[in-house]
């Protein structure tokens, strides 16, 4: 995706031919285990497709790794549209977060909305320094892990006018983008760029937070990340 300059390579979760990869994954999970267990307990139950009542658990078997990949952004990559890796709003049901806390959405709705991966927490591991936004840093619109923000993106109207000569459509798209920024600043810290990272630094986020991959304009900079997602056991 993103032309020839951006590559998202899925990696095997279990494969004895990749011992270095398994070592890195095991090391990261062991260090983050208490945090990830607590975060899954707190954040994921209020998402579509998750259980509506969570009993806090410190049992490592209650959480599993559901994805593992490497994201490489080469020089010349373009600015991505911002998106969520898991959607909080379902065009099929019109359901929002308030309903999802008390009403379980059918699994087929969840899967049709976001493919086969469940709601999850994603951990980025920097494989090199990312000193500036120009190096292809990821940007996050904090506070947008909710149906209110996602509806503005996924309800069909979207935040990009399909016909730039249509003044009404352009104004509506601009208003939608501003509404998302208002939600972000009201709920959290506004727009945050993951720049200033050093090799080995990590970032953990709810997969439904709206974000984008920034352009990489630095010559000879093949920016690489390792990332993995965790979810309640049996969710995938």
Query: Rounded distance, CA 8 to CA 79, Å?
Result: 15
- Asked if 80 contacts 5 with a C-beta cutoff of 8 angstroms, the reply is no
Tens of pLDDT along 3-34?
568 888 888 887 767 788 888 888 888 888 88
Tens of pLDDT along 72-106?
999 988 888 878 888 877 655 555 544 443 334 44
pTM of the predicted structure, to 2 decimals: 0.79
Sorted by sequence, the CB contacts under 8 Å of residue 190 that are 6+ apart come out as 141, 142, 143, 181, 184
Query: Residue 23: which domain range?
Result: 6-232
- The pLDDT of 33-42, averaged and rounded, is 79
Residue 50 lies in a domain: yes
Query: Rounded distance, CA 149 to CA 8, Å?
Result: 25
Residue 203 lies in a domain: yes
Residue 74 lies in a domain: yes
Residue 1 lies in a domain: no
Residue 186 main-chain phi, psi, to 5 deg: -75, -35
Residue 209 lies in a domain: yes
pLDDT surpasses 70 at 151: yes
pLDDT surpasses 70 at 164: no
SS (H, E, C) 111-163: HHHHCCCCCCEEEEEECCCECCCCECCEEEECCCCCHHHHHHHHCCCCCCCCC
Query: For 205, what's the count of Cα atoms within 13 Å in the CB-facing half-sphere?
Result: 25
Q: Which two tokens stand for residue 196?
A: 């200033």
Residue 121 lies in a domain: yes
The reported pLDDT for the residue numbered 46 is 53
Domain harbouring 145, CATH code: 2.60.120
Tens of pLDDT along 174-203?
888 888 888 877 776 778 888 888 999 999
- Asked if 166 contacts 227 with a C-beta cutoff of 8 angstroms, the reply is no
Query: For 149, what's the count of Cα atoms within 13 Å in the CB-facing half-sphere?
Result: 27
**Percentage of the chain with pLDDT > 70?**
75
pLDDT surpasses 50 at 67: yes
**Percentage of the chain with pLDDT > 90?**
19
Number of domains forming the structure of the chain: 1
The reported pLDDT for the residue numbered 24 is 83
Q: What 3-state DSSP class applies to 166?
A: coil
Residue 16 lies in a domain: yes
């Amino acid at each position: 995706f993103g032309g020839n300059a951006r590559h998202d390579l899925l990696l095997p979760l279990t494969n004895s031919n990749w011992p270095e990869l398994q070592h890195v994954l095991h090391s990261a999970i062991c260090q983050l285990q208490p945090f990830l267990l607590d975060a899954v307990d707190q954040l994921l139950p209020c998402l579509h497709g998750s259980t509506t009542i969570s009993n806090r658990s410190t049992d490592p078997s209650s959480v599993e790794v559901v994805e593992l990949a490497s994201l490489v952004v080469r020089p010349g990559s373009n600015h991505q549209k911002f998106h969520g890796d898991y959607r909080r709003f379902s065009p099929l049901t019109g359901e929002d977060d308030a309903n999802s806390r008390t009403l379980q959405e059918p699994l087929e709705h969840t899967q049709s909305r976001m493919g086969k991966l469940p709601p999850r927490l994603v951990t980025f591991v920097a494989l090199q320094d990312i000193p500036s936004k120009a190096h292809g840093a990821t940007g996050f619109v904090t506070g947008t892990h909710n149906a209110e923000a996602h509806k503005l993106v996924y309800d069909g109207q979207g935040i990009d006018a399909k016909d730039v000569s249509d003044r009404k459509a352009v104004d509506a798209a601009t208003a939608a983008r501003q509404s998302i920024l208002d939600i972000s600043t009201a709920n959290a810290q506004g727009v945050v760029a993951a720049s200033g990272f050093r090799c080995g630094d990590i970032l953990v986020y709810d997969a439904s937070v709206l974000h984008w991959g920034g352009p990489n304009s630095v010559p000879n900079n093949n920016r690489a990340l390792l990332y993995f997602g965790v979810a309640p056991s049996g969710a995938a």
